[in-house]
């Protein structure tokens, strides 16, 4: 089914399976953008709360049975994907919001070979979880990764949804995505967990003195442990490389502190790294014709350079790159 969407013409209805922080936010934001939406979840609490806000929440089987012409968004933890994918009808237009991409692509090819799939991952969230943590504005200005295997009309549908939800789209491969998020998302969860445990071991005085730097550094340690485990353990190989890098830097810092008492290299490298994040380079506008041969390579190249798709006009993507 389709819904009217102003000057952009007709766009697909949206079915969201899983109504936690991200899935619930997708459902809210898609409705706010003018889409017809419905959803399903294994959580009775999330289902009841969503219905209380006026959303159309049904069983997983019914949600999927309605979705022959809709865009289905899977928003469940990685361990729940295999059983869910077995239920998805052939030909379904599918995307996901899972925080790893290689294992998701593998699972889709194994359990749902006949669907049309573009992987996705919005880089947005909080340390809270569940339907109540969601917001229709969660994705405003956020990077939304897509990992397409071909440039086609289904990719256009997924890009348009992300844009309608307020995000900008970063195309890449599953492998490049997983290596990047291991460093900027999954490793920070591990470091936050360690920092929180080290601080707590300092006893009541340490906790009484804990202020901004400790709170900022440990914020994501407040996330539900089972969700963090699913995310980090699902990206084991890439995370191991990031952990090894961090251990090497910690070892160098310890060696310098023990031998000379100095931490200049460690502190200055961290300061420089933070400045890279804060001082993003000026971007220029380019267009990519998604109907031309080489469009997929052009999109992936855009993403690898830190570029993003900010608009879609028919089959032409408006993009920004540094």
Q: Quick one: which of 183, 162, 193 has its CA closest to 246?
A: 183
**Under a CB-based contact definition with an 8 Å cutoff, are residues 62 and 50 in contact?**
no
Q: Give the H or E element holding residue 143.
A: strand 143-147
**Under a CB-based contact definition with an 8 Å cutoff, are residues 239 and 188 in contact?**
no
The CA distance from 95 to 183, in Å, is 24
Q: Quick one: which of 159, 148, 118, 141 has its CA closest to 317?
A: 159
Q: Is the pTM of this model over 0.85?
A: yes
Q: Which residues contact 254 (CB under 8 A, 6 or more apart)?
A: none
- Can you give the pLDDT of all 322 residues of the chain as single tens digits? 444 343 344 689 999 999 999 999 999 999 999 999 999 999 999 999 999 999 999 999 999 999 999 999 999 999 999 999 999 999 999 999 999 999 999 999 999 999 999 999 999 987 788 999 999 999 999 999 999 999 999 999 999 999 999 999 999 999 999 999 999 999 999 999 999 999 999 999 999 999 999 999 999 999 999 989 999 999 999 999 999 999 999 999 999 999 999 999 999 999 999 999 999 888 999 999 999 999 999 999 999 999 999 999 988 999 999 8
Tokens of 199: 């601080």
**Under a CB-based contact definition with an 8 Å cutoff, are residues 157 and 30 in contact?**
no
């Amino acid at each position: 089914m389709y819904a009217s969407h102003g000057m952009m013409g007709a766009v697909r209805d949206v079915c969201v399976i899983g109504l936690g922080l991200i899935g619930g936010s997708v459902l809210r934001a898609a409705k706010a953008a003018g889409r017809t939406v419905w959803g399903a979840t294994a959580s009775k609490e999330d289902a009841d709360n969503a219905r209380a806000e006026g959303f159309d929440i049904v069983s997983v089987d019914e949600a999927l049975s309605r979705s022959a012409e809709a865009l289905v968004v899977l928003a469940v933890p990685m361990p729940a994907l295999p059983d869910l994918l077995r239920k998805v009808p052939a030909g379904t237009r599918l995307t996901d919001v899972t925080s790893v991409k290689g294992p998701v692509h593998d699972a889709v090819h194994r359990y749902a070979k006949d669907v049309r799939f573009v992987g996705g991952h919005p880089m947005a969230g909080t340390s809270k979880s569940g339907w109540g943590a969601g917001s229709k504005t969660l994705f405003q200005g956020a990077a939304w990764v897509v990992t397409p295997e071909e440039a086609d009309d289904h990719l256009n549908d997924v890009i348009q949804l992300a844009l309608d939800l307020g995000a900008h789209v970063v195309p890449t491969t599953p492998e490049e995505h997983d290596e990047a998020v291991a460093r900027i998302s999954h490793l920070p969860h591990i470091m936050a967990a360690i920092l929180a445990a080290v601080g707590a071991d300092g006893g009541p005085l340490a906790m009484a003195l804990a202020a901004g730097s400790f709170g900022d550094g440990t914020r994501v340690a407040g996330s539900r442990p089972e969700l963090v485990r699913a995310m980090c353990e699902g990206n084991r190989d890439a995370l191991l490389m990031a952990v090894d890098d961090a251990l090497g830097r910690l070892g160098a810092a310890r060696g310098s502190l023990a031998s000379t008492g100095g931490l200049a290299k460690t502190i200055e490298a961290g300061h420089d790294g933070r400045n890279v994040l804060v001082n993003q380079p000026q971007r220029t506008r380019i267009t990519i014709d998604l109907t031309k041969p080489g469009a997929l390579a052009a999109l992936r190249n855009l993403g690898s350079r830190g570029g993003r798709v900010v608009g879609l006009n028919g089959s032409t993507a408006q993009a920004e790159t540094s």
